[in-house]
Amino acid sequence: MAYYCYLMRCADGSFYTGWTLDPHRREQQHNQGRGAKYTRLHRPVKLVYVEEQPDLSSALKREKAIKKLSHQQKEKMALGWQDKMEISFADLTVVSPGRVNLLGEHVDYNDGLVFPAAIDREVTIRVGKRMDDVVYLRALDLGEEVSFSVNTLDQKIDIDGQPLPTWALYPAGVAWVLLQHGLRVSGMEAEFTSNLPMGAGLSSSAALEVGFAVVWEVLGDWDLDRMTLARYAQAAEVQYVGLNCGLMDQFACANGVAGHALVLDIRSLQWRPVPLPAGYKIVIANSMVKHELVGSEYNTRHQECNEAVEIFQHHLPEVHSLRDVSLQQLLTLQAEFPENVFKRARHVISEIGRVQQAVQVLEAGEVKAFGELMYATHASLRDDYAVSCREIDILVEIAAGLPGCVGARLTGGGFGGCTVNLVREEAVAEFTRELKQQYLERTGISAAIFPCQAANGAHVI
Ligand code: GLA
């Protein structure tokens, strides 16, 4: 642990000397009147000098020595530090998009194929470099802040030893994974804001993870290919946050290509961008419903898929994942499966087939056929995978009856969240109005409905 001696310049020009574990946080405390009696009476204060000490007793000794210096000597120290900071502080802004999944739901942790697109809704992270190992984060939309040291990531605690708030687990988890891979992770000050609805199935968590991975890449002056970066971000979510997710979200946030959806084969990690059809828009409808237990239900589905693989393996030892079996093989062995496990497997196997077909029809310009596959996916998620809910089903049902809509379905993990709709461009305005109105009439809820564009992956601006 590092200790710091510091100088604050007070409102009347005088200096206050102290020691701390986190100089920037200490500055805030002084300004909130929670630092010392002297600074409380001479606010606002500004941090003008920091010096690292190896241990507490050296910090206390040095604090005493600085206190004895003349005002002029302190002024000199402050000026020298200011010059140094101006050189080493780098302002950096990173934008990291959410994603919408067009097809291939709950197949990424089954070695399947997915077809997501990064979207023009994103997390924006503004960063200042700092000299120590402390990460200070401010979540602007939540009005919350936290500081933690990159040396105590294992314990998931902040600088005061308190458990990290849930939102901070995403960046902290990324730092933890990066360190395990021997990459430099520096302290920083960052604030972030998002125009992506949180927890609505548009990958706000992956956007945060990938965004912070890019921030540390720039600050640490190392370079990772985007697939590896996405895999590290996924590892943060699985191993640190505890959601046993697949790779799709982090992949899409890291690799998005404007105007395109991305077809990714999770088994080979081969992928390519596929242009979105001209004359159509992707419209997202947020049901504004969020069901608890998303994480535990998600992990249960993952577990049920593993169970299905084990049952297959009794008969077909060469099977490693549901990617390796056909619907016919499932039907032949149906009697061996508990009903829920049979249904989960039927969804996964049929969904992988739908993605293969969907990419072909889209590239052949058969947009209607693509839309039919979206409806089929929704039915499968609702009936076999059991991850939909009443409000989402209502959104899909209404959309299916509206002019210009060729396909609609639940997108993302489920249990609330959003639907994705493919709508003829000229019909978008009326579609949006009608969907909002009819959903309100049937549920009493005002949905947020917006068209989106396929965007580029996370980048520095
Ligand atoms: C969440 C997960 C993804 C994926 C989807 C469902 O978004 O993070 O890995 O499994 O659910 O397709």
pLDDT digits (tens, 9 = 90+) for 418-452: 999 999 999 999 999 999 999 999 999 999 999 99
What tokens does 3 get?
């200790």
Same domain as 20, residue 143 = no
Which residues make beta-bridge pairs with 275? Answer: 260
| Spacing, Cα 147 to ligand 1 middle (Å) | 29
Tell me: pLDDT of 105 over 90.
yes
Tell me: pLDDT of 291 over 80.
no
Q: What is the tally of structural domains in the chain? A: 2
Alpha carbon separation from 107 to 245, 301, 322 (Å, rounded): 10, 11, 9
Mean pLDDT confidence for 170-180: 98
| Spacing, Cα 279 to ligand 1 middle (Å) | 28
Determine the pLDDT at residue 78: 85
Residue with tokens 């693509």: 370
pLDDT, greater one: 348 or 128: 348
Closest ligand 1 atom to Cα of 205: 8
**Nearest residue (CA) to ligand 1, atom 2:** 245
Max distance between CA atoms of the chain, in angstroms, equals 88
Banded pLDDT at 332 (limits 50, 70, 90): very high
Q: Which tens digit of pLDDT belongs to each residue from 106-127? A: 999 999 999 999 999 999 999 9
Pocket test for ligand 1, best of 108, 110, 196 (most atoms within 8 A of CB): 108
Pocket test for ligand 1, best of 99, 245, 355 (most atoms within 8 A of CB): 245
Cα–chain-centroid distance for residue 299? 18
**Nearest residue (CA) to ligand 1, atom 9:** 246
Same domain as 117, residue 224 = yes
| Spacing, Cα 248 to ligand 1 middle (Å) | 6
* Beta-sheet strand order (sheet of 416-424): 405-411, 416-424, 280-290, 448-452
- Give me the CATH number covering residue 63: 3.40.1440
Same domain as 130, residue 80 = no
Burial class for 143, CB neighbours closer than 10 Å (0-12, 13-18, 19+): exposed
**Nearest residue (CA) to ligand 1, atom 5:** 413
Whether 96 and 214 have beta carbons less than 8 Å apart is answered as: yes
Same domain as 198, residue 102 = yes
Determine the pLDDT at residue 91: 73
Closest ligand 1 atom to Cα of 101: 12
| Spacing, Cα 104 to ligand 1 middle (Å) | 10
Tell me: pLDDT of 319 over 80.
yes
One DSSP character per residue, 115-161 reads: EEEEEEEEEEEEEEE-SSSEEEEEETTTTEEEEEETTSGGGTB-TTS
| SS3 at position 282 | strand
Cα–chain-centroid distance for residue 359? 26
| Percentage of the chain exceeding pLDDT 90 | 86
- Give me the CATH number covering residue 96: 3.30.230.10
| C-alpha–C-alpha distance, residues 395 and 442, integer Å | 10
Same domain as 106, residue 77 = no
Banded pLDDT at 324 (limits 50, 70, 90): very high
Tell me: pLDDT of 402 over 60.
yes
Q: Which of 82-96, 163-177, 215-229 has the lowest mean pLDDT?
A: 82-96
| Spacing, Cα 338 to ligand 1 middle (Å) | 24
| Spacing, Cα 402 to ligand 1 middle (Å) | 28
Determine the pLDDT at residue 293: 54
Same domain as 155, residue 50 = no
Whether 322 and 333 have beta carbons less than 8 Å apart is answered as: no
**Domain final residue, candidates 276, 302, 323:** 276
Ligand 1 site, CB within 6 A: 101, 105-106, 108-109, 245-246, 248-249, 412-413
In a domain, 412, yes or no: no
Same domain as 237, residue 122 = yes
What tokens does 276 get?
């979105």
What tokens does 446 get?
């005002």
| Spacing, Cα 5 to ligand 1 middle (Å) | 46
In a domain, 73, yes or no: yes
In 3D space, the residue among 48, 38, 46 whose CA is nearest the CA of residue 75 turns out to be 48
| SS3 at position 91 | coil
Pocket test for ligand 1, best of 103, 170, 249 (most atoms within 8 A of CB): 249
Q: Which tens digit of pLDDT belongs to each residue from 350-377? A: 999 999 999 999 999 999 999 999 999 9
Tell me: pLDDT of 393 over 80.
yes
- Phi, psi torsion values for 100, nearest 5 degrees: -120, 140
- The CA-based angle 136-140-141, given to 5 degrees, is 140
Determine the pLDDT at residue 46: 87
**Domain final residue, candidates 276, 310, 332:** 276
Mean pLDDT confidence for 48-72: 93
In a domain, 428, yes or no: no
Determine the pLDDT at residue 294: 57
Determine the pLDDT at residue 301: 96
| C-alpha–C-alpha distance, residues 415 and 296, integer Å | 11
Tell me: pLDDT of 412 over 60.
yes
Determine the pLDDT at residue 82: 66
Closest ligand 1 atom to Cα of 107: 12
Closest ligand 1 atom to Cα of 105: 12
Tell me: pLDDT of 277 over 70.
yes
Q: What is the mean pLDDT of the chain?
A: 94
**Domain final residue, candidates 276, 308, 327:** 276
Determine the pLDDT at residue 198: 87
In a domain, 161, yes or no: yes
**Nearest residue (CA) to ligand 1, atom 8:** 245
Mean pLDDT confidence for 270-287: 97
Banded pLDDT at 296 (limits 50, 70, 90): confident
Catalytic residue numbers, as ranges: 249
Closest ligand 1 atom to Cα of 206: 8
Q: Which of 82-91, 241-250, 251-260, 302-311 has the lowest mean pLDDT?
A: 82-91
Q: Which tens digit of pLDDT belongs to each residue from 206-260? A: 999 999 999 999 999 899 999 999 999 999 999 999 999 999 999 999 999 999 9
| SS3 at position 181 | coil
Tell me: pLDDT of 87 over 50.
no
* Residue range(s) defining the domain that contains residue 230: 92-276
In a domain, 457, yes or no: no
Q: Which residues contact 126 (CB under 8 A, 6 or more apart)?
A: 91, 92, 93, 190, 191, 192
